[in-house]
A and B are shown apart, each in its own frame.
Chain A
Amino acid sequence: GAVVSQHPSRVICKSGTSVKIECRSLDFQATTMFWYRQFPKQSLMLMATSNEGSKATYEQGVEKDKFLINHASLTLSTLTVTSAHPEDSSFYICSALRLAGGKNEQFFGPGTRLTVL
C-alpha cells in the first residue's frame, strides 16, 4: 500500500510555456500533499503544502503565482509551472500524507524531470 504516482515522468518545454504535473495517491486518500524541488546531487527542498479544498501554503521564497497548486480531490494534486524559464528546470517530487495512529507518514511519488529550453 501507500503508492503515489506522478505524471509525466519527464517533460521538455519551451521557455514561456506552462507545464502541469499531476500527483496521485493510488491506494489511500490524502487531504495533504507536499511538493518538493530537488537539484542534482542535492537534498529535497519543500516548495509548498497542498491541502484538499483549500489554498496551498507556500514556503518562504517560493512564488505562488509561478507555481500554481490545485488539490481538487482527495487523491489528486497538481503543480503548474507557469511561464517556465530555464532556471525552473529541476526534478519535482510530490508526496502524499497518509494518516497514521501516531505521526502521519509521507509517501513520495517517482518525480518529474522538467527541462525548459
Chain B
Amino acid sequence: QQQVKQSPQSLIVQKGGISIINCAYENTAFDYFPWYQQFPGKGPALLIAIRPDVSEKKEGRFTISFNKSAKQFSLHIMDSQPGDSATYFCAASPYNTDKLIFGTGTRLQVFP
C-alpha cells in the first residue's frame, strides 16, 4: 500500500532551535523524496529533495536524513526562525511515475 506517515502533527520550537520532522513509508518502490513548505492560503513550495542512493542532503539550514533500511526520512531545520513557521509536507514518488504521495503535514511554530 502506498502511504507516507508523517510526525509530529504539530511542533513548537524556540527561535534558534532545531526543528525535526519525520516521515516513514512502507512501499520500497519510491525513488524520490521531496519536502514542501506551505504558508496559509498559498501553494506548497519545494524546499529540498533526496533520492534513495544518498543518506543525507543539506541545503542551507535545511537537511534531509534518509535511512533506506528503516524506510524513514526526516527534515532538520537548523537555527529555526519565526519566518519558518508554516506547514511542512513530506512526499514520496514511485519510481515509475511522476506522482507524489504526500504525508499528513506538520504545523511548525517558531517562537522568538
Contact = CB atoms under 8 A, between A and B. Distances in A.
| Real binding pair | yes
A7 to B, nearest CB: 13
B89 A43 contact: yes
Interface size class of A (residues with CB under 8 A): 20 to 34
Nearest to A32: B98
A83 B93 CA distance: 33
B61 interface: no
A84 B94 CA distance: 33
A106 B34 CA distance: 10
Interface stretch (A14-22, A67-75, A97-105): A97-105
B44 A103 contact: no
Contacts of B34: 105-106
B41 interface: yes
B89 A106 contact: no
Given A44-B102, A95-B43, A108-B44, 10 more contacts: A6-B43, A34-B99, A42-B105, A44-B89, A46-B100, A93-B43, A97-B98, A103-B93, A106-B98, A108-B36
Nearest first, the 5 A-B pairs at minimum CB distance are A108-B43, A103-B32, A43-B102, A111-B43, A110-B43
23 contacts: A6-B43, A32-B98, A34-B99, A34-B100, A42-B104, A42-B105, A43-B102, A44-B44, A49-B99, A93-B44, A95-B43, A97-B98, A102-B51, A103-B49, A104-B98, A106-B46, A106-B98, A106-B100, A108-B43, A108-B44, A108-B45, A109-B43, A110-B42
Interface of A: 4, 6, 32, 34, 41-44, 46, 49, 91, 93, 95, 97, 102-111, 113
